[in-house]
Chain A
Amino acid sequence: MSKSIEAIDLDVYYGSFLAVEGVNIRIEPRTVTAFIGPSGCGKTTFLRTMNRMHEVLPNATVKGQLLLDAEDIYASGVDPVRVRSKVGMVFQRPNPFPTMSIRDNVLAGFRLNGIRMGKAQADEITERSLKGANLWNEVKDRLDKPGSGLSGGQQQRLCIARTIAVQPEVILMDEPCSALDPISTLAVEDLIGELKEHYTIVIVTHNMQQASRVSDKTAFFNIAGTGKPGKLIEFDYTDKIFSNPSVQSTEDYITGRFG
């Protein structure tokens, strides 16, 4: 489990529009990396290239290489479906399947991939994943109730449980706390700290305190202006980015003197 990710000269296009240009980054296994930057700078776009989710949108393409350990996930013949089962994703808004029970939501990754399992094994995976997402004690008595009946924070942790149930190598999080209240946010942040022991985690966030709390390294993305491509400006240890960044625009952004 847990692989490194390396992008080499990665460009992302929507049709002919270059959205993100020339990203070079190496993310080590079992670390938390935060992507920060102003809206529209391509953080989320780049994040979605890491499990080939961006190509769900029509006409989205990628140039360059994205290595998962040593394997280029954009090499010809690579099945995006296989990539996504190795690189899990948690979305901005909690999105448990509303028609499934809590248990079925956790097991959705297996059911989708047509994996049959006995009840004992299913119970074990459900319990392990929900414990892993710090949700077990809150829902263990109502596993057969719909997942949409939980609170927002619980739903998001259910989505994390669903993601870790299939034991991915990498977990991508796209502003996972932006729809949550502070207490739920804290619960998810604590969880990220625990998940780091087993997974490589990349998190997009607009909240700089959150980036400094949860991440080992931080990448700052910026955009020169509307219609221009987003770029990776600086990537370094989180302490360094927030205390002594080496690029002026990073400092402007984190001190709020931006724009």
Chain B
Amino acid sequence: MSQTETRGSAVAQTTDTEQPPVDAPAGVPLDNRSGRFGDRLFSGISLAAGIVILVVLAGVAAFLIRDAIPAVVASPEELDRDTSFWGYVGPLVAGSVVASLIAILVATPVGVGIALFISHYAPKRLAQPLGYVIDLLAAIPSVVYGAWGALVFGAALVPGYAWLSEHLSFIPIFGPTHSTTGRTLLTAALVLAVMVLPIITSLCRELFLQTPKLHEEAALALGATRWEMIKAAVFPFARAGIVSAVMLGLGRALGETMAVALVLSPGPLTASLISTGNSTIPAEIALGFSEAFGIRRSELIAAGLVLFVITLVVNVLARLVVARYKDFSGAN
């Protein structure tokens, strides 16, 4: 490859010298060595950056696997509990996934709705400040969210939980009793929803604003209302991007530690979302890691590895979803 390139440029140079002297400006030599050096430098830098990412990722994975193995293969006696590692991590996985899914289910429609409002409905004077306010939500540290969720938001939800447990307790998730502090998995999920909202909103807003005018007008000229135009032109254009935005949000929700650790008063797995109990992997690690050593530390790292794998699977699934629509993405 590089050989043919050099040969090609050599030919180009000889023909250049054979040309009668052209009136090229004196300061611009025809052989562009310095430009080619810049090209090579830049491709080297970007290659190095790509390699560094892979090395870091591989390093993290190797560390997690090495330190996790002792706990994964250990017997219940070694772990000093009545189940194997999988029995320990299962409830945590369930808690993490359930909390994140609720957060995404709540945040996606709200986030997409706000983004649409900003991009296509709101008058310009309102749209911009609203956009800034949403972006500001992302600037609040998660420990503040945690404190707010535990002290204010959770307490405010208690009457709602009381109502749910009184009228809907036949559904297991609104279990027989309810927490009187409001520090439950559902509160944690709702706090997570607020936290991922700015991610989904700002990504979607940028996408919606980039919808080609041509396609919007095509829909309008066919007699579409604004909402029909959005369905025909804006959503299809943004579909892949919405999926990515939701996946980024899901990643954030799955990995969020501090807010959940503060909001949730952790306990064993229960079906009920509104009574005390349940925990998530990041919260479990954060609460236990500083006092853990030996096999217990290995156990927490193994839990981290499980989270790592879940996030990876989520991202691969997202890619597959996006790839399914590739032919129809408008990129061709």
Interface positions of A (Cβ within 8 A of B): 51, 53, 56, 81-82, 84-86, 88-89, 91, 93, 95-101, 108-109, 111-114, 145-146, 148-149, 159, 162-163, 166
With both beta carbons as reference points, the residue of chain A lying nearest to B328 in the complex is identified as: A99
Contacts known (A91-B214, A95-B215); A108 close to B329, Cβ less than 8 A: no
A166-B222 in contact (CB<8A): yes
A53-B328 in contact (CB<8A): no
Interface size range of chain B in the complex: 20 to 34
The CA of A37 and the CA of B250, in the complex, are separated in Å by 55
B223-A112 in contact (CB<8A): yes
Chain A nearest CB, measured from B233 CB (Å): 7
- Quick one: which of B220, B225, B233 contacts A97, CB cutoff 8 A? B233
Contacts known (A98-B215, A99-B325, A146-B327); A81 close to B236, Cβ less than 8 A: no
Chain B nearest CB, measured from A173 CB (Å): 11
B328 / chain A contacts, CB cutoff of 8 Å: 98-101, 146
The CA of A126 and the CA of B222, in the complex, are separated in Å by 16
Sampled A-B contacts (7; CB under 8 Å): A81-B223, A89-B217, A95-B217, A96-B218, A98-B329, A108-B219, A148-B330
Q: Chain A interface mostly helix, strand, loop or mixed?
A: mixed
B145 within 8 A of A: no
B332 within 8 A of A: yes
The CA of A30 and the CA of B306, in the complex, are separated in Å by 70
Contacts known (A97-B215, A97-B236, A99-B236); A56 close to B220, Cβ less than 8 A: yes
B220-A85 in contact (CB<8A): no
A99-B228 in contact (CB<8A): no
B228-A113 in contact (CB<8A): yes
A51-B221 in contact (CB<8A): yes
Chain B nearest CB, measured from A93 CB (Å): 6
Interface positions of B (Cβ within 8 A of A): 212, 214-225, 228-229, 231-233, 236-237, 239, 325, 327-330, 332
- Quick one: which of B214, B215, B218, B225 contacts A81, CB cutoff 8 A? B225
The CA of A91 and the CA of B222, in the complex, are separated in Å by 12
B223 / chain A contacts, CB cutoff of 8 Å: 81-82, 84-86, 109, 112-113, 166
With both beta carbons as reference points, the residue of chain B lying nearest to A89 in the complex is identified as: B221
A159 / chain B contacts, CB cutoff of 8 Å: 218
With both beta carbons as reference points, the residue of chain A lying nearest to B228 in the complex is identified as: A112
B217-A56 in contact (CB<8A): yes
A95-B214 in contact (CB<8A): yes
The CA of A173 and the CA of B219, in the complex, are separated in Å by 15
Pairs of residues from A and B, 10 with the lowest C-beta to C-beta distance, nearest first: A85-B223, A98-B330, A99-B236, A89-B221, A95-B214, A109-B222, A112-B224, A95-B218, A99-B328, A84-B223
Chain A nearest CB, measured from B93 CB (Å): 36
A112-B221 in contact (CB<8A): no
B222-A163 in contact (CB<8A): yes
The CA of A145 and the CA of B332, in the complex, are separated in Å by 12
Chain B nearest CB, measured from A84 CB (Å): 4
Chain B nearest CB, measured from A174 CB (Å): 10
A99-B237 in contact (CB<8A): yes
- Quick one: which of A98, A112, A145, A149 contacts B222, CB cutoff 8 A? A112
Contacts known (A91-B214, A91-B217, A149-B332); A100 close to B236, Cβ less than 8 A: yes
B332 / chain A contacts, CB cutoff of 8 Å: 98, 146, 148-149
The CA of A99 and the CA of B327, in the complex, are separated in Å by 8
A149 / chain B contacts, CB cutoff of 8 Å: 327, 332
Chain B nearest CB, measured from A86 CB (Å): 8
Chain A nearest CB, measured from B12 CB (Å): 33
The CA of A115 and the CA of B212, in the complex, are separated in Å by 25
The CA of A53 and the CA of B224, in the complex, are separated in Å by 11
B225 / chain A contacts, CB cutoff of 8 Å: 81
A85 / chain B contacts, CB cutoff of 8 Å: 222-223
With both beta carbons as reference points, the residue of chain A lying nearest to B232 in the complex is identified as: A112
The CA of A163 and the CA of B229, in the complex, are separated in Å by 15
The CA of A113 and the CA of B227, in the complex, are separated in Å by 11
